[in-house]
Chains A and B, each alone.
Chain A
Amino acid sequence: MNELPVSMVVNGEPRRAIVEPRKTLADYLREDCALTGTHLGCEHGVCGACTVLVDEVAVRSCLMFAVQAEGARITTVEGLAEPGTLSPVQEAFREEHGLQCGFCTPGFVVSVHAFLAANPTPTSTEIREALSGNLCRCTGYQGIIRAVERAAAALADAPRP
């Protein structure tokens, strides 16, 4: 079969595998790395549940092939905070009940991490715009918006690393 070697760093850990080129980065993370926090909703780039950071940039992992991530640093929802702890964004989602069924949550959390890193003091319009690429089929958006506002405030209060 037509397979290629690929190596990348996932959540700080070097990974190597042999994959079919048509395997998406999302499938690679879930099946080969057993990192099932990255969820797959639509698998064609609409829902945002599979959002991960590739070299610190938020992208849809269902729209990249694993072989394209050769040499990249990937951060999934599992890698946003030390094991057993929550990042300020995750903490804010918990506090504000920014989830209902939770299926879309990993994509929202990763997207919000990238968004607040680029724009630490967003307006409410900017928050809504930034969330527009992630779908919550429970329509729990109000709690999610409050969570982003809370996370931004928490990050503003936290000492800069």
Chain B
Amino acid sequence: MKPAPFEYHAPESVADVVGVLADHGDEAKPLAGGQSLVPMLALRLARFEHLVDLNRVGQLAEVARDDGAVLVGAMTRQASLERDDHARAVPLLGRAAPLIGHFQIRNRGTVGGSIAHADPASELPAVALALDADLLVAAADRTRVIPAGEFFAGNWTTVLEPDELLTAIRFPVWEGRSGFAVEEVARRHGDFALAGAACGVTLRGDGTIERAAIALFGMGSTPLRAPAAEAALLGRRGTPAELAEVGQLAVQDLEPPDDVHASSRYRRAVGAHVVALALSAAVREASA
């Protein structure tokens, strides 16, 4: 047995989960799919007196259409994003999912777990940021809605308080002639990306870009939007030359991490490349 001892709670309702969190504060941690938390416990990088298992809370695993959006329960398995009928209305979810770990990981790993874990190189936080998703949060005495743009505070850090639980994520559905893509470069399939981008575009009837979203991951301590690059796309058609330029614009002010896997400079080059690739695929899809 590698993890340190803990007391195990297996509540069956959100009310009971947040009750346990209220009682124990930062000595308690919600256990979602366990694909990041359990390795951290095994390596003793983290230790909690109480683990609150969310796997018996059925209401956290529901996916539903919700007035111009798709409401994805925090305990929705990553694997189910590839086949859920409601989730299909948000194509970035199904495009991001196959890039997460391996199929055995996705069978267990969850959407809410990935977002609350907030690894800056992971895909779903970037998808939430690109789409301006709303994160629904509950505590014993309150609820609140946090825009994705205000949720990520740093490496593996969010603005969630210890007594708060991420219960669902509301991903807006883009109507019209829209296209989406996620591109990343990783050393091996399933590894965390050295750099990646999640992008969406909507075209006007004349083929010019009306709306664009670009979120980068692996390029900083949180997923990052690229507002200047998004603005530069408006009114353009997304020719290869334009997209290459926009890719450069998206990364020019970033200071990506410098580590054994890649230098900062290399990550910036890869970042520009994946932005251009993802935008190109998104424009192609929107034009089809």
Residues of chain A whose beta carbon lies under 8 Å from any beta carbon of chain B: 2, 4, 20-24, 27, 43-46, 48, 51, 57-60, 62-65, 67-68, 70, 111, 114-115, 128-130, 132-133
Contact = CB atoms under 8 A, between A and B. Distances in A.
Nearest to B7: A2
B8 A43 contact: no
Contact of B35 (A2, A45, A48, A128): A45
B105 interface: yes
Interface of B: 1-8, 10, 34-35, 38-39, 41-43, 51, 53, 55, 101-105, 107-108, 188-190
A130 B103 contact: yes
Contact of A48 (B7, B41, B102): B102
Contacts of B8: 2, 4, 21, 65, 67
B104 A44 contact: no
Given A48-B102, A62-B42, A132-B102, A21 B6 contact: yes
A27 B3 CA distance: 12
Main SS at interface, chain A: mixed
Main SS at interface, chain B: loop
Contacts of B38: 24, 44-45, 62-65
B8 to A, nearest CB: 4
Contact of A60 (B5, B6, B51, B104): B104
B1 A45 contact: no
A129 B101 CA distance: 11
A63 B103 contact: no
Nearest to A4: B8
A48 B104 contact: yes
A2 B39 contact: no
A44 B5 contact: no
A44 B39 contact: yes
B103 A133 contact: yes
Contacts of B53: 68
A130 B104 CA distance: 9
A22 B3 contact: yes
Nearest to B77: A57
